[in-house]
Structure 1
Amino acid sequence: MSAPVRTSVASDEAIAELLRGWAPAQRWFAHKGVAAHVVRLERTPLDEGGVAQLVALTVRSGEGEDAARTVYSVPITVRPAPDEALAAALIGELPDVDGSPAWIYDGPHDPTWTRALLTLVASEEGAGSTTFGVHGHSAEGGLPVPAGARTKVLSGEQSNTSIVVTAEDGETPLIAKVFRVLSAGDNPDVVVQTALADAGCGRVPRPAGWVDGQWTGPDGELAVGHLAHVTEFLAGSQDAWRVATAAVEQHRDFSGEARELGRATAEVHAVLAAELPTEPATPQRLSALADGLLERVAWACTAVPQLHEVAAAARERVDAVRHVGDAPALQRVHGDYHLGQVLHSQTRGWVLLDFEGEPLRPLAERSVPDLALRDVAGMLRSFDYAASTVADPGDWGPVCRQAFLDGYTAVAGTDPRVGGQAVLLAALELDKALYEVVYEARNRPDWLRIPLDAVHRLLAADPS
């Protein structure tokens, strides 16, 4: 454990008040538009000076004691004087912290905080207490963690915060992902990527380490889980969404890239099936899956009146899942797979990222074996969205979809377009499109036609 440092217990209420007003405006705050009440604040220092700190902020969303509670990870730095370089990251000023003023900054934007985190990982030490503490771990055989480095927060993320770490001595740059919503249990991003890397799979970034710890959970009981993950940063790479949409805009054939992406996806699925537990797709599991898909149909049709006319056909399509007799085994999957979750590296080809699964689903659900075809369905929908970024994409989308499936089939050895797999894939793609219809209706009405057209097209097609 690190040497004990002086922190101010008296300032906890003031910091909680600062964060109560600041946190709901951040992209990672999950319950926007709902009254947020700070239920609990815990703090632990990450360095000996007490500048870098980590806050576990328990927030009740809505009114009443039965309202949902969420524990957020809020990195902060506490400084005795303002820092002009961090002006954009200022959370607020406290007039009296242990008799002196203090300036509170958003930790990921302060290099001092990131260096303290990396020091824990490199030294495999801990900080804090048995009720709220953190512990660093270096990945066995993984990348070295630099002691001194330049840091930069990536923009555009919603559910987490990622910090690029560039070493000054030519070492491999890293990226530290801070999980913003704290959930008890092992985070799939750490478990799945580590398993793939340990198996020698080059389709994921190489790990450097992670931070886990313990905190008071939403129910008031002690929770244990992951707080951050540090991996290789592929400098100079481009995310597949940008590569694909550029091809659409240029009316350029993308089938070769799509085929290779299909191969890469199947390679990752094969390694996951070999390295992590699998389960047979029993009739009971398929029936449970069908029940869940039927619930999604009902939810979507209730939320978006335009879906009422296709409700019966959608129910028939997803209910067919329970009658599939040759379903593949259930296994660990990506869980939230689309073009934005893949990078293209000049030296490595396609590299898959972010194995957390859907961020709003409970962590326990995201760790349960699933059909690998769910990832396939997600990528097929992503090609449809990419094609829709221009007014007249021609046959760009359908060509890419078929090329992706050709590449996937070549490695997987079975064709998702044939037999029972075709029934499963059709149901899973429809499920994804229904979710998109509700999302767009609520958030981007101008985009609603994209998934709505897809629902009609999918229901008109014969899965076999």
Structure 2
Amino acid sequence: MTGPVATDPASDAALAELLLQWAPRQRWFAHKGAEVRLQRLERTPLDEAGVAQLVALTVRTGPEGAAESTVYAVPLTVRHAPDESLAAALVGHLPDVDGARAWVYDGPHDPTFTRALLTLVAAEEGAGSPAFGVHGTSADGGLPVPAGAVTKVLGGEQSNTSIVVGAPQGSQEVPLIAKVFRVLNAGDNPDVVVQTALAGAGCERVPRPAGWVDGQWTAPDGSTAHGHLAHLTEFLAGSQDAWRVATAAVEAGRGFAAEAGELGAATAEVHAVLARELPTEPATPERLAALADGLAARVAWACAAVPQLEAVAAAATARVEAVRGVTGAPDLQRVHGDYHLGQVLHSASRGWVLLDFEGEPLRPLAERSVPDLALRDVAGMLRSFDYAASAGARSGGEEAAAAWAAQCREAFLASYAEGTGVDPRVPGSAAQTLLAALELDKALYEVVYEARNRPDWVRIPLGAVHRLTS
């Protein structure tokens, strides 16, 4: 599809210097404040003119002897003349191979880059070399890629970059959203694998897929790594995320129990399909013992970090140690992995739709792809209800917020139990023991986070810790 990138070692060196100054200031850069050193830069064109380019930027952070290497995907466009419409997306300048000046732009903000990415998927074409290259794939039975698309970068994301791909006015094509993964990890990204499996099974609780881009690059150890670089799915125009819907209800003094019940049913549906479509594993005593070890380590870590927790240390330890004696635990399966109200949209035509099955971005990809307890997703949503109640409260105080969250909790769990047959509300059941430990684990993490970053918020998870250990 393309020829070699029009560059030379001097140009690559100039680009690397430019990116080392620019990248650490971007929201998706995971090592803000750390010393950053270049390990490797690779780039390949995505179009015949070489304007749209993709860079694999490998950097080392931390002190020598204990440094970590991370590979970032950096989409760029490189032009031989400035484009005033892209002034806000300017990365900087560098000399090209002829010594003339070149203008470098942040690729997702340039429609030329997005068109090149879409072309790879629609035509199922490749670009680059065996060392660093990419290839597009259309999902079986997936949505078509719009021609002449209008694009817009979504704001607010932390770890990835998403581009809305709107169909031309008057077109009947479905708008898409292209998520560009910023940290490159070898292996299949769960966001692609899990959503594709759900959609392929006819589940309408996830956006319909259009395709993805995968590729190969040089891993930090010099080997060739392969994995996903971007994912294209349906964009649900006019939908609202559940966090906004929930906090708006709190602010207006409205309950959210009916919506929480519907969300519990949607979560149950997704978990049931995943258990049917993707591999599961038994929750053996060995796996539960390993889980208990990790939970106990979290208790010790949190109590050491926040002295206020010392009063509940013994009760918290007992709560998580109870996991070792659980019998009849549900099988381990693929889960969402980072489930909260911000990961769900409400569509007028489809109800609740779940997004972003990538798991916790800071965890290694291999860990995010391992079957887990579905109740971990349940625990995440229960904690999110608690936060929404407190964040949205304008009057009525903590008592009213606690009552609002309790109503949501009960409605969610009732619907979830009806849909899965797993009822964490049954006293002494395996599900109750596991959910209590998992929710406590998440609340302890939240206490430490809030104590370090938002002390005024620490009361929210601290209250949950006291409730779960009483």
Q: Answer yes or no: same fold by TM over 0.5.
A: yes
Cα deviation, 1:290-334, whole Å, max 9, x if unaligned, reads: 011111112222222222222221111111111001100000000
Cα offset, 1:442, TM superposition = 2.1
One-letter amino acid matched to 1:445: P
In 2, Cα distance between the equivalents of 1:5 and 1:70?
A: 25
1:199 to 173, 198, 201: 201
Partner of 1:326: 328
Contact 1:119 1:147 (8 Å CA) reproduced: no
One-letter amino acid matched to 1:340: G
After superposition, residues 101-116 of structure 1 pair within 5 angstroms as 101-116=101-116
TM-score, normalised to structure 1's length?
0.97
Partner of 1:4: 3
**Residues 1:140 and 2:136 are matched in the alignment:** no
Partner of 1:420: 430
Local SS of the residue matching 2:140: coil
In 2, Cα distance between the equivalents of 1:9 and 1:447?
A: 52
Runs of 4 or more, structure 1, over 6 Å off, are none
Cα offset, 1:378, TM superposition = 0.2
Partner of 2:245: 243
1:340 to 327, 339, 342: 342
Local SS of the residue matching 1:86: helix
After superposition, residues 29-428 of structure 1 pair within 5 angstroms as 29-168=29-168, 169-389=171-391, 390-391=393-394, 392=397, 393-394=400-401, 395-418=403-426, 419-428=429-438
In 2, Cα distance between the equivalents of 1:326 and 1:429?
A: 19
**Residues 1:442 and 2:441 are matched in the alignment:** no
Cα offset, 1:5, TM superposition = 4.1
In 2, Cα distance between the equivalents of 1:93 and 1:65?
A: 34
Cα offset, 1:450, TM superposition = 1.0
In 1, Cα distance between the equivalents of 2:98 and 2:249?
A: 58
In 2, Cα distance between the equivalents of 1:39 and 1:446?
A: 40
Cα deviation, 1:344-382, whole Å, max 9, x if unaligned, reads: 000000000000100000000000000000000000000
Contact 2:241 2:342 (8 Å CA) reproduced: yes
Note closer, same or farther for the CA distance 1:310–1:27 as it changes in structure 2 (3 Å cut). same
1:451 to 442, 449, 461: 461
Cα offset, 1:110, TM superposition = 0.5
In 2, Cα distance between the equivalents of 1:196 and 1:275?
A: 8
One-letter amino acid matched to 2:110: D
Local SS of the residue matching 2:349: coil
> Which stretch shifts more, 309-318 or 67-76?
309-318
In 2, Cα distance between the equivalents of 1:4 and 1:65?
A: 39
In 2, Cα distance between the equivalents of 1:20 and 1:173?
A: 34
In 1, Cα distance between the equivalents of 2:331 and 2:182?
A: 32
Instruction: Report the aligned-residue RMSD.
Output: 1.0
Contact 1:325 1:420 (8 Å CA) reproduced: yes
- Unaligned ranges ≥5, structure 1: none
Contact 2:2 2:46 (8 Å CA) reproduced: no
Cα offset, 1:95, TM superposition = 4.2
In 2, Cα distance between the equivalents of 1:442 and 1:81?
A: 46
Contact 2:5 2:44 (8 Å CA) reproduced: no
Cα offset, 1:452, TM superposition = 1.4
> Which stretch shifts more, 383-392 or 73-82?
383-392
Contact 2:7 2:96 (8 Å CA) reproduced: no
Contact 2:336 2:357 (8 Å CA) reproduced: yes
One-letter amino acid matched to 1:131: A
One-letter amino acid matched to 1:432: K
In 2, Cα distance between the equivalents of 1:6 and 1:284?
A: 52
Cα offset, 1:401, TM superposition = 0.7
Q: How many residues align?
A: 459
Cα offset, 1:153, TM superposition = 0.4
